[in-house]
Amino acid sequence: MSQPLPQTVKGASASARLQALGLELPDLAGNAYFVHHRAVDSSIHISGQLPFKNGELLGQGIVGGDVELERARELARHAALNCLAAAVQAVGDLDRVRIVQMLVFVASTPDFGRQSQVANAASELLIEVLGENGRHARTAIGVAGLPLNTPVEIQMICTAV
């Protein structure tokens, strides 16, 4: 089944497009064991981000079991939003962020098989906000479990433009 490509939300800047979606970049809490981003040459590696909002994990469970597909898609959008926040920490401005690659982990039942549909929600958000700078290479994989029993974790590589 072919789906239409997501469109960039109207707005002069990526920040304006984010605001038009009713979203804002969260503040990411520090961690004693890892950094949210690390620059290597022109690449910025974003640590795996969970679907936290205001310090609260938005969901737990296994997709295809106790977590429905649509809920997993919402959680993927939140994790992608946290990745964007880390990218902005690295480059200073949302308009300078270009996503190169995204890796989406979905804690799912062995027979779920729709990890790419979960990942699509994160991809859609990136394209809606960043336009062409949000298009990326991507991998979506099912795993047996993730930290804190979250259904989704997203890792990215981006660059500054």
DSSP string, 102-125: EEEEEEB-TT---HHHHHHHHHHH
Helical H runs in 38-114? 69-91
pLDDT, tens digit, for every residue of 90-111? 999 999 999 999 999 999 999 9
For the chain, how many helices (H) and strands (E)? 3, 7
Note down pLDDT in tens along the chain; length 161 residues.
445 555 666 668 999 999 999 999 999 988 889 999 999 999 999 999 999 999 999 999 999 999 999 999 999 999 999 999 999 999 999 999 999 999 999 999 999 999 999 999 999 999 999 999 999 999 999 999 999 999 999 999 999 99
Is 101:43 a contact under the CB 8 Å cutoff? no
Is 63:112 a contact under the CB 8 Å cutoff? yes
pLDDT at 3: 52
Between strands 137-143 and 152-160, the pairing is unpaired
* pTM listed for this prediction: 0.92
Which pair of tokens denotes residue 141? 């994989």
